[in-house]
Amino acid sequence: MSEVIRPVETVGEAILELLQLRGIDTVIGGAPTSMIEAIAKRQASGEPAPRAILTPHEQTAVAMAHGYYAATGRPQAVYLYSTVGTANGMGGIINAARSRVPMIILAARSPVSEKRGVAGARDIHVQWSQESFDQASMVREYVKWDYELRSGEQVAAVIERALEVATAEPQGPVYISIPRDVQAAAMEEIRTTSETRRVNGARLMPDPARLDEAADLLASAKHPVIVTSELGRSAAGREALGRLCDVGGFGVLEASPVYSNLDPKHPCHLGYIFASQVSPDLERADLIFVIESDVPWFTARVTVPDSARVIQLGIDPFYQRLPMRGFPCDVPLIGHAEAALEALIGRLESRIPASLLDERIAAHGARRKTQETTLDEAIRHDGGLAHITPLFANHCVSRLLDEDSIVVNEYPTDLRVVQPSGAGSYFGPSHAGGLGWGFGAALGVKAARPDKTVICTLGDGAYYYCVPASCHQIAAAEDLPVLVVVFNNGGWNEVRKSVVSTHPDGWAARAEQVPVTRFGVKAGFEKVAEAFGGYGAVVESPDELLPVLQAAMRVVKEEGRHALVNVVVHA
């Protein structure tokens, strides 16, 4: 490790240098004024600089950084413009916080100085009106750390601290506000080390005594079931779960999965739990092993036996940042899931009789075969209808997938049909539910993994929230050819289901149409894609759907243009 001395002209340039030195290769959203000046300097001199992706809206910027991290495991930097830009990005920040996605959020702040002759001093009207008494208070509940940069003397320490906190477990976004006159202040050089001395990467291991206790419960359980939502963030964790199932025949349910947590073809994969679904496995379980799942079941819908023991495993299995969470935990395993699962495998390898293992896997397989037969019959039935159903639309999307595909989903994907091929092949929405994440996240994934084919599946409501013009502009300007499939049912279907679920015998349930849930306009989403040089198509017939999707995919792969297919579905 050696000392690094870099000449700079401003604090803004020093920030750019430090980000680049610490592995931040992309700044999304734009850049503070003096960082733009530093980028221009590098372009003029031919020196390398982080990739700067200009986004017309901050919602898109935060979603892109989220997707970039999901695809690579490397945090990036986001630039938000002052208070109003921070407000625009808030939904994405909440998503990142609840999904434990690290990112460095740089936010402009009104200049401190009003004095003539001070570089970056206030010189336009908004710099008075946009200032708040405490700008970071807008995000403080959802970021791990916030700070206002006050002088060039501390810039290296602030960037190191930001990265240290963002990447320490549990990970999450951090926020740095920078007054314009501070970033424009003159600076001659930065001094730091070639490698950071704020190393926080370490594998956290649960208490061995608790591991023994968990192994005893798993070995003696008659009806064990595993529930997970976000284990698949780590490819090693996903693989370790598969090996644990191979040892014990434990059935696995994925609860509103954010990642692909287990190979869907694994014999122990029991399926998925979403808001409207109930699993008999949970209602008869005598042991539930929860792995990285904030909401492993829906207490208003599922009756878990009081006698069932519950093991909870994760970096923070208690989800302490959630104001309320009432799930039991008889055995806490606090640490990285992959390390804990490896330890449990070693403790269980000789404790599950081969006959019991075979019996469990055979039972899982028999039930799965029945479910697959029923699903195939339903797909064939829907394919013969005059209109497109969500199930048949999912079936057609599944026909596009190969080993190089990544699906980024915001609500309509049926994972029984659109099955992830491997680790990192599926990314779902944050459980915070900040709509408008999917399209931007897909662009972030494509920017990070240009070798992959990225398919983004959205509901029409999610598409509206994505700030579509912003996303289509970026797809065209940054050469990010993604395929966007919009499941367009013309309204808020989730709201409709929520109303009927809450008031099953009420007026809305009896009405021909649930009020305030239909958009009332036949939207030509495909025209928005065309306005930005993309390919657009609308489909209303089941017979036409697959050919149109295939044509759109050819445009993405062969012409390098983004495409949108507006699928009119009857839900």
Give the rounded percent of residues in the chain with a pLDDT score beyond 90.
84
Contacts of 109 (CB under 8 A, 6+ apart): 82, 131, 135, 148, 177, 178, 179, 180
H/E stretch holding 212: helix 208-220
CB 304 within 8 A of CB 282: yes
257 class by beta-carbon count within 10 Å (0-12 exposed, 13-18 middle, 19+ buried): buried
Structural domains of the chain in order of their starting residue, each with its CATH number? 3-193 (3.40.50.970), 208-367 (3.40.50.1220), 384-568 (3.40.50.970)
Q: Which has more pLDDT, 194 or 89?
A: 89
Q: How many CB atoms lie within 10 A of CB 542?
A: 19
DSSP state of 491: B
- Contacts with 193 (C-beta within 8 Å, 6 or more apart), sequence order: 1, 2, 3, 4
Asked whether residue 278 carries a pLDDT value surpassing 80, the answer given is no
Q: Across residues 126-144, what is the average pLDDT? A: 95
Of the candidates 418, 481, 435, 486, the one whose C-alpha atom is nearest the C-alpha of residue 458 is: 486
CA distance 486 to 461: 9
Quick one: how far is CA 541 from the chain centroid? 32
Predicted local distance difference test score (pLDDT) of residue 275: 61
For residues 335-356, give the mean pLDDT: 96
Contact 273, 281 (CB under 8 A): no
Label residue 320 exposed, middle or buried (CB < 10 Å: 0-12, 13-18, 19+): exposed
φ, ψ of residue 496 in degrees (nearest 5): -55, -45
d(CA 143, CA 94): 8
For the record, the structure tokens of 327 come out as 């799930």
* pLDDT over 90 (residue 274): no
Q: Give tens-digit pLDDT for 28-51.
A: 998 778 888 999 998 899 888 889
* Residue with the two structure tokens 């915001």: 410
DSSP codes joined into one string, 242-258: HHHHHHH--EEEEES-S
Question: Does 216 have pLDDT greater than 90?
Answer: yes
Alpha-carbon gap, residue 110 to 177, rounded angstroms: 9
Q: What residue has token string 């243009």? A: 561
269: three-class secondary structure by DSSP: strand
Q: Tell me, what's the pLDDT at 321?
A: 95
CA pair distance 48, 19, nearest whole angstrom: 13
**Cβ contact 3:193 at 8 Å:** yes
For residue 56, count CB atoms less than 10 angstroms from its CB and return exposed for 0-12, middle for 13-18, buried for 19 or more: middle
Distance between CA 390 and CA 378 in Å, rounded? 11
Q: CA torsion, points 137, 140, 143, 148, in degrees to nearest 10?
A: 50
For residue 407, the surrounding DSSP H or E stretch is strand 405-410
For tokens 């990036």, the residue is 76
pLDDT in tens, 280-302: 899 999 999 999 999 999 988 88
Flag whether pLDDT at 277 surpasses 90: no
CA 64/CA 53 separation, integer angstroms: 10
Q: Are 68 and 51 in contact (CB under 8 A)?
A: no
**Mind listing the pLDDT tens digit for each residue in 418-430?**
999 899 999 999 9
Confidence of residue 493 (pLDDT cuts 50, 70, 90): confident
What secondary structure letter does DSSP report for 259?
A: B
Q: How is residue 254 written in tokens?
A: 């994925």
Query: Does the bond joining 170 to the residue before it have cis omega, within 30 degrees of 0?
Result: yes
Q: Which two tokens stand for residue 258?
A: 């954010």
Token look-up 């379980």 returns 285
- CA 502/CA 107 separation, integer angstroms: 41
- Give 171's DSSP letter: P
How far apart CA 30 and CA 281 sit, in angstroms, is: 49
| 1 pLDDT above the threshold of 80 | no
Band of pLDDT at residue 498, cut at 50, 70 and 90: confident
Distance CA 243, CA 90 (A): 39
> Using 50, 70 and 90 to split pLDDT, how confident is the model at 328?
very high
For residue 493, give Cα distances in angstroms to 95, 311, 414, 460, 499: 21, 35, 15, 10, 10
Averaged confidence pLDDT in the chain: 95
Three-class SS of 521-559: CCCCHHHHHHHCCCEEEEECCHHHHHHHHHHHHHHHHHH
pLDDT at 496: 87
pLDDT for 357 beyond 70 = yes
